[in-house]
């Protein structure tokens, strides 16, 4: 069995907003979602800015009657809101349209922000400096007093998938992958395979993450992965530009409703695009570095093209992983060159991370939504802040302004810390 898989609904929560059309227009204008960090006091950090989601309240999506907004971690709330928007846009009005046991959830969702203050209070209370060890009795006393069981559980990456299953009575497969920056693209690819082989008819899939907290920012700073352009933060994300100095940490969620083609037709759903190919590989090199020859990225794109049954010449646009780090941008450009050969310089490539920042586990799903919108409107979103070409990045990056183009088949890349590489190919819906 190899059934067709189509996209019938989309929703997102991003640093540029939550409404699909409004955010899309902001992307085409080149707006930046990057500003100074407000979630915590980052004034003494090497990086003081990020792409935060602002003016977000889960009650606006679920209403006061729903209990989830009282317990959801930040990232799970993003995922649940995006799923609510996607489900509605897919036109599911009641449960009779599909067997709940054939509706599944597959997310690439990150861990929730840790309850640092109360965790630190318990740790400090239990520390005995004279004995140089942990007084477990005192630790337990303070931990039971300060740490809330539900909040601690909500840190687990699978909680977003659980909330979504409860909300939509999705009794089918329920899975979550946390393969860093490749997670939501991997989730979407694997979800499409579940539908293809008949294990589900509908999958609520995508990803969410929120790492704008002291541990997240400190960790990426220590890896020298974040931009430190504190005086020019709005334009700090500069994919493929020779002056780039690291990525900008973002947060948010993207959820897509994937559906078996015949079911979508039967219920009169509007088909937005079709997923026709997926490839997943590992660099098997280092957990913090891409293989310098781009072997994993190259293999993922080749596998996705083969799965789709298309040639490199059929691809009209590439949505790049494009993080704005020296390593990623150079190696992704190299890999595209290896897959597309002489045509590589003529295929438009762009990175919306120049405006969204890097949503980590949520990035791939949000970027796939931009691919669907680009196909729909015949326009490619730009790579903003691109002013100084890098000799190691010699491709057409659609600099600074959107570009009109007839788009039928589009390829989207996501590469993650740990060496994960995932590529999806989507095609315009049939007329």
- Residues 40-44: what's their mean pLDDT? 95
- How does residue 129 score in pLDDT terms, banded at 50, 70 and 90? low
- Residue-wise DSSP of 149-173: HHHHHTTSTTHHHHHHHHHHT--S-
**Lowest mean pLDDT, pick from 44-48, 131-135, 223-227:** 131-135
What is the CA 91 to chain-centroid distance, rounded?
Answer: 24
- How does residue 413 score in pLDDT terms, banded at 50, 70 and 90? very high
Tell me the two tokens of residue 171: 């009794």
pLDDT at residue 392, rounded to an integer = 97
Query: What are the tens digits of pLDDT across the range 372-398?
Result: 999 999 999 999 999 999 999 999 999
Name the more confident of 131 and 98: 98
- Residue-wise DSSP of 87-105: HHHTT--SGGGS-GGGEEE
pLDDT at residue 146, rounded to an integer = 62
pLDDT at 73 over 80: yes
**Lowest mean pLDDT, pick from 95-99, 139-143, 301-305, 353-357:** 139-143
Query: What are the tens digits of pLDDT across the range 201-254?
Result: 999 999 999 999 998 999 999 999 999 999 999 999 999 999 999 999 999 999
**CATH of the structural domain 5-113+155-427, one choice from 3.30.470.10, 3.30.70.270, 3.40.50.720, 3.40.47.10:** 3.40.47.10
pLDDT at residue 97, rounded to an integer = 77
pLDDT at 94 over 60: no
Query: What are the tens digits of pLDDT across the range 160-170?
Result: 999 999 999 99
- How does residue 18 score in pLDDT terms, banded at 50, 70 and 90? very high
Q: Is 267 exposed, middle or buried (0-12, 13-18, 19+ CB in 10 A)?
A: middle
pLDDT at residue 116, rounded to an integer = 59
- How does residue 430 score in pLDDT terms, banded at 50, 70 and 90? confident
Please state, rounded to an integer, the average pLDDT across all residues of the chain. 91
pLDDT at residue 322, rounded to an integer = 97
- Which residue in the list 72, 159, 181, 393 is annotated as catalytic? 181
Percent of the chain with pLDDT over 70: 87
- Which residue in the list 163, 321, 371, 393 is annotated as catalytic? 321
- Residue-wise DSSP of 324-346: S-HHHHHHHHHHHHHHHGGGGGG
Instruction: Say what angle helices 116-126 and 136-146 make with each other, to 10 degrees.
Output: 150
65 is annotated as an active-site residue:
no
181 is annotated as an active-site residue:
yes
- Residues 85-93: what's their mean pLDDT? 92
pLDDT at 123 over 70: no
321 is annotated as an active-site residue:
yes
- Residues 346-358: what's their mean pLDDT? 98
- How does residue 67 score in pLDDT terms, banded at 50, 70 and 90? low
pLDDT at residue 82, rounded to an integer = 98
For the chain, which residues make up each domain, given as ranges?
A: 5-113+155-427, 116-153
**Lowest mean pLDDT, pick from 98-102, 283-287, 316-320, 397-401:** 283-287
Q: Quick one: CA torsion of 49, 52, 55, 58, rounded to 10 degrees?
A: -150
pLDDT at residue 142, rounded to an integer = 64
- Which residue in the list 209, 213, 291, 358 is annotated as catalytic? 358
């Amino acid at each position: 069995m190899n059934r067709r898989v189509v996209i019938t609904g989309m929703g997102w929560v991003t640093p540029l907003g939550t409404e699909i059309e409004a955010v899309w227009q902001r992307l085409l204008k080149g707006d930046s979602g990057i500003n100074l960090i407000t979630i915590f006091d980052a004034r003494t950090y090497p990086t003081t800015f990020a792409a935060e989601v602002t003016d977000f309240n889960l009650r606006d999506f679920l209403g006061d009657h729903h209990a989830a907004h009282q317990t959801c971690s930040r990232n799970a709330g993003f995922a649940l809101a995006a799923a609510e928007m996607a489900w509605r846009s897919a036109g599911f009005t009641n449960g009779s349209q599909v067997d709940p046991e054939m509706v599944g959830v597959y997310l690439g969702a990150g861990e929730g922000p840790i309850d640092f203050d109360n965790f630190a209070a318990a740790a400090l209370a239990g520390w005995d400096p004279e004995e140089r060890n942990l007084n477990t009795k005192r630790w337990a006393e303070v931990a039971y007093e300060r740490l809330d069981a539900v909040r601690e559980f909500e840190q687990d990456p699978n909680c977003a998938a659980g909330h979504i299953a409860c909300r939509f009575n999705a009794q089918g497969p329920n899975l979550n992958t946390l393969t860093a920056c490749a997670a939501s693209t991997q989730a979407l690819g694997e979800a499409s395979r579940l539908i293809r082989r008949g294990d589900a008819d509908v999958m609520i899939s995508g990803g969410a993450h929120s790492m704008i907290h002291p541990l997240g920012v400190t960790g990426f700073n220590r890896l020298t992965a974040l931009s430190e352009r504190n005086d020019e933060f709005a334009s700090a994300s500069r994919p493929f530009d020779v002056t780039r100095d690291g990525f900008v940490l973002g947060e948010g969620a993207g959820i897509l409703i994937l559906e078996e083609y015949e079911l979508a037709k039967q219920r009169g759903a509007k088909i937005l695009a079709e997923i026709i190919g997926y490839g997943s590989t590992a660099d098997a090199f280092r957990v913090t570095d891409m293989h310098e020859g781009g072997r994993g990225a190259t293999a993922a794109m080749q596998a996705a093209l083969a799965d789709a049954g298309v040639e490199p010449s059929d691809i009209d646009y590439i949505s790049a992983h494009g993080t704005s780090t020296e390593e990623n941008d150079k190696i992704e450009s190299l890999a595209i060159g290896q897959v597309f050969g002489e045509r590589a310089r003529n295929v438009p490539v762009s990175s919306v991370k120049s405006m969204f920042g890097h949503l980590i586990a949520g990035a791939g799903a949000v970027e796939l939504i931009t691919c669907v919108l680009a196909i729909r409107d015949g326009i490619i979103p730009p790579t903003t802040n691109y002013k100084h070409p890098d000799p190691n990045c010699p491709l057409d990056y659609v600099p600074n302004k959107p570009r009109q183009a007839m788009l039928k088949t589009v390829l989207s890349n996501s590469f993650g810390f740990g060496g994960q590489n995932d590529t999806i190919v989507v095609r315009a819906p049939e007329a």
